[in-house]
C-alpha cells in the first residue's frame, strides 16, 4: 500500500494535466468569445504563465530524459500561448482593432 502511494506521487499525470490548462483556456476563449474582455485576457495570461513554469518544473523534478524533453516542449508551447495572450492584452489596451 505504501509503495502504491509512492508510485502515485511520482506519476507525471498531474504535471501533464497542468501543462494542458493554457491550451484548454485558449481554445475555450477562441470558441466562445469573438472579442474577449481585456481583464479576462490578463487573467488567462497570468494563469498560462504560472502553468507554464509549474508544469515544466514538476516534470524537471523527475530527472528522466523524456520528462525533461516533455517539460521543455510544454514550456515552449505554453510560453507561446502566454505571449499570444499578452499581445492580445496589449492590442486591446491600445484599442488596436
pLDDT for 13 equals 80
pLDDT for 10 equals 66
pLDDT digits (tens, 9 = 90+) for 29-78: 878 877 778 788 788 888 888 887 888 888 888 878 888 888 888 888 88
Residue among 69, 75, 92 at smallest CA distance from 22:
75
Residue 55 in any domain: the answer is yes
Look at residue 26 and tell me whether its pLDDT is greater than 70.
yes
Look at residue 9 and tell me whether its pLDDT is greater than 70.
no
Q: Could you give the number of structural domains in the chain?
A: 1
Residue 28 in any domain: the answer is no
Q: Is the pTM of this model over 0.85?
A: no
Q: Which domain holds residue 57?
A: 41-97
Report the pLDDT averaged over residues 14-25.
Answer: 82
pLDDT for 97 equals 59
Return the HEC string of 22-53.
HHHHHHHHHHHCCCCCHHHHHHHHHHHHHHHH
Residue 2 in any domain: the answer is no
Residue 30 in any domain: the answer is no
Residue 15 in any domain: the answer is no
Amino acid at each position: 500500500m505504501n509503495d502504491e502511494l509512492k508510485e502515485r506521487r511520482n506519476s507525471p499525470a498531474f504535471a501533464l494535466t497542468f501543462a494542458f490548462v493554457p491550451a484548454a483556456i485558449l481554445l475555450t476563449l477562441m470558441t466562445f468569445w469573438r472579442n474577449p474582455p481585456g481583464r479576462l485576457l490578463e487573467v488567462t495570461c497570468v494563469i498560462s504563465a504560472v502553468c507554464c513554469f509549474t508544469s515544466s518544473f514538476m516534470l524537471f523534478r523527475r530527472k528522466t530524459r523524456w520528462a525533461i524533453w516533455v517539460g521543455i516542449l510544454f514550456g515552449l508551447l505554453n510560453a507561446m500561448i502566454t505571449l499570444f495572450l499578452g499581445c492580445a492584452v496589449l492590442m486591446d489596451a491600445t484599442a488596436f482593432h
